[in-house]
Structure 1
Amino acid sequence: MFSEGQLIFALVFIVVFVGATIWVYRRDASLHKTFYKGSYRVLIAFLLFVAFLFFIKGYLKH
Protein backbone atom coordinates (compact mmCIF):
# COMPACT_ATOMS: atom_id res chain seq x y z
CA MET A 1 0.00 0.00 0.00
CA PHE A 2 2.78 2.44 0.94
CA SER A 3 6.32 2.38 -0.34
CA GLU A 4 9.23 1.78 2.00
CA GLY A 5 10.31 5.42 1.67
CA GLN A 6 6.86 6.68 2.63
CA LEU A 7 6.80 4.45 5.72
CA ILE A 8 10.27 5.64 6.78
CA PHE A 9 9.22 9.26 6.29
CA ALA A 10 6.04 8.74 8.34
CA LEU A 11 7.98 7.10 11.16
CA VAL A 12 10.64 9.84 11.24
CA PHE A 13 7.94 12.54 11.06
CA ILE A 14 6.00 11.05 14.00
CA VAL A 15 9.12 10.69 16.14
CA VAL A 16 10.27 14.27 15.43
CA PHE A 17 6.77 15.71 15.89
CA VAL A 18 6.22 13.98 19.24
CA GLY A 19 9.70 14.98 20.41
CA ALA A 20 9.17 18.62 19.44
CA THR A 21 5.76 18.66 21.11
CA ILE A 22 7.19 17.30 24.37
CA TRP A 23 10.12 19.75 24.26
CA VAL A 24 7.86 22.78 23.69
CA TYR A 25 5.39 21.67 26.38
CA ARG A 26 8.13 21.26 28.97
CA ARG A 27 9.59 24.65 28.04
CA ASP A 28 6.19 26.33 28.55
CA ALA A 29 5.11 24.31 31.61
CA SER A 30 5.47 27.27 33.98
CA LEU A 31 3.24 29.40 31.75
CA HIS A 32 0.65 26.63 31.63
CA LYS A 33 0.48 26.54 35.43
CA THR A 34 -0.04 30.32 35.52
CA PHE A 35 -2.55 30.89 32.73
CA TYR A 36 -4.45 27.59 32.62
CA LYS A 37 -5.03 27.07 36.33
CA GLY A 38 -8.29 25.18 36.85
CA SER A 39 -8.71 24.23 33.20
CA TYR A 40 -9.26 20.63 34.23
CA ARG A 41 -12.76 21.68 35.35
CA VAL A 42 -13.61 22.63 31.77
CA LEU A 43 -12.33 19.26 30.58
CA ILE A 44 -14.40 17.40 33.17
CA ALA A 45 -17.52 19.42 32.25
CA PHE A 46 -16.98 18.67 28.56
CA LEU A 47 -16.53 14.95 29.20
CA LEU A 48 -19.66 14.88 31.36
CA PHE A 49 -21.60 16.65 28.61
CA VAL A 50 -20.45 14.12 26.01
CA ALA A 51 -21.35 11.25 28.37
CA PHE A 52 -24.78 12.83 28.88
CA LEU A 53 -25.29 12.97 25.11
CA PHE A 54 -24.42 9.29 24.81
CA PHE A 55 -26.82 8.53 27.66
CA ILE A 56 -29.62 10.41 25.92
CA LYS A 57 -28.84 8.63 22.64
CA GLY A 58 -28.99 5.23 24.33
CA TYR A 59 -32.13 6.10 26.27
CA LEU A 60 -34.04 7.32 23.21
CA LYS A 61 -32.93 4.36 21.13
CA HIS A 62 -34.81 1.91 23.35
Structure 2
Amino acid sequence: MFSKGQLLFALFFVVSFIAVMIFSYRKDIKLHRQHYKGSIWILVIFLVFIGILFAIKTFLKD
Protein backbone atom coordinates (compact mmCIF):
# COMPACT_ATOMS: atom_id res chain seq x y z
CA MET A 1 0.00 0.00 0.00
CA PHE A 2 2.61 2.57 1.08
CA SER A 3 6.34 2.19 0.79
CA LYS A 4 8.63 2.52 3.79
CA GLY A 5 9.88 5.88 2.48
CA GLN A 6 6.35 7.26 2.16
CA LEU A 7 5.49 6.22 5.72
CA LEU A 8 8.68 7.78 7.07
CA PHE A 9 7.94 11.00 5.18
CA ALA A 10 4.38 11.08 6.52
CA LEU A 11 5.61 10.52 10.07
CA PHE A 12 8.29 13.19 9.73
CA PHE A 13 5.78 15.63 8.22
CA VAL A 14 3.20 15.11 10.98
CA VAL A 15 5.75 15.46 13.78
CA SER A 16 7.28 18.57 12.17
CA PHE A 17 3.90 20.15 11.53
CA ILE A 18 2.73 19.62 15.11
CA ALA A 19 6.03 20.98 16.47
CA VAL A 20 5.78 24.14 14.35
CA MET A 21 2.13 24.65 15.34
CA ILE A 22 2.96 24.33 19.05
CA PHE A 23 5.94 26.71 18.70
CA SER A 24 3.85 29.27 16.80
CA TYR A 25 0.98 29.09 19.27
CA ARG A 26 3.27 29.53 22.28
CA LYS A 27 4.98 32.46 20.57
CA ASP A 28 1.65 34.27 20.00
CA ILE A 29 -0.19 33.25 23.18
CA LYS A 30 -0.22 36.80 24.61
CA LEU A 31 -1.77 38.18 21.43
CA HIS A 32 -4.35 35.38 21.38
CA ARG A 33 -5.42 36.15 24.93
CA GLN A 34 -5.75 39.84 24.12
CA HIS A 35 -7.56 39.66 20.77
CA TYR A 36 -9.57 36.45 21.04
CA LYS A 37 -10.92 36.75 24.58
CA GLY A 38 -14.32 35.06 24.82
CA SER A 39 -13.97 33.11 21.59
CA ILE A 40 -14.55 29.85 23.50
CA TRP A 41 -18.25 30.74 23.56
CA ILE A 42 -18.36 30.55 19.76
CA LEU A 43 -17.08 26.98 19.98
CA VAL A 44 -19.62 26.11 22.69
CA ILE A 45 -22.51 27.57 20.67
CA PHE A 46 -21.33 25.74 17.55
CA LEU A 47 -21.17 22.40 19.39
CA VAL A 48 -24.63 22.98 20.91
CA PHE A 49 -25.99 23.78 17.44
CA ILE A 50 -24.51 20.57 16.00
CA GLY A 51 -26.00 18.65 18.94
CA ILE A 52 -29.44 20.16 18.29
CA LEU A 53 -29.22 19.24 14.60
CA PHE A 54 -28.24 15.68 15.53
CA ALA A 55 -31.14 15.43 18.01
CA ILE A 56 -33.61 16.72 15.41
CA LYS A 57 -32.29 14.22 12.87
CA THR A 58 -32.61 11.38 15.36
CA PHE A 59 -36.16 12.25 16.41
CA LEU A 60 -37.46 12.88 12.90
CA LYS A 61 -35.89 9.71 11.48
CA ASP A 62 -38.73 7.51 12.77
One-letter amino acid of the counterpart of residue 55, structure 1 = A
How far apart are the structure 2 equivalents of 1:17 and 1:46?
A: 27
- Residue in 1 that maps onto 2:42: 42
- How is 1:1-62 mapped onto 2 (pairs within 5 angstroms)? 1-62=1-62
Unaligned 5+ runs, structure 1: none
SS in 1 for 2:2: coil
Query: Aligned-pair distance for 1:51?
Result: 0.1
- Aligned-residue Cα RMSD (Å) equals 0.4
Give the whole-Å Cα distance in 1 for the aligned partners of 2:16 and 2:41.
31
**TM, length-normalised to structure 2:** 0.98
Structure-2 separation of matches of 1:19 and 1:12: 11
Q: CA deviation at 1:11?
A: 0.4
Q: Stretches of 4+ moved more than 6 A in 1?
A: none
Which structure 2 residue ranges, 5 or more long, are not aligned?
A: none
2:17 and 2:2 mapped to 1: Cα distance? 20
Under a length normalisation based on structure 1, what TM-score does the superposition of the two structures give?
Answer: 0.98
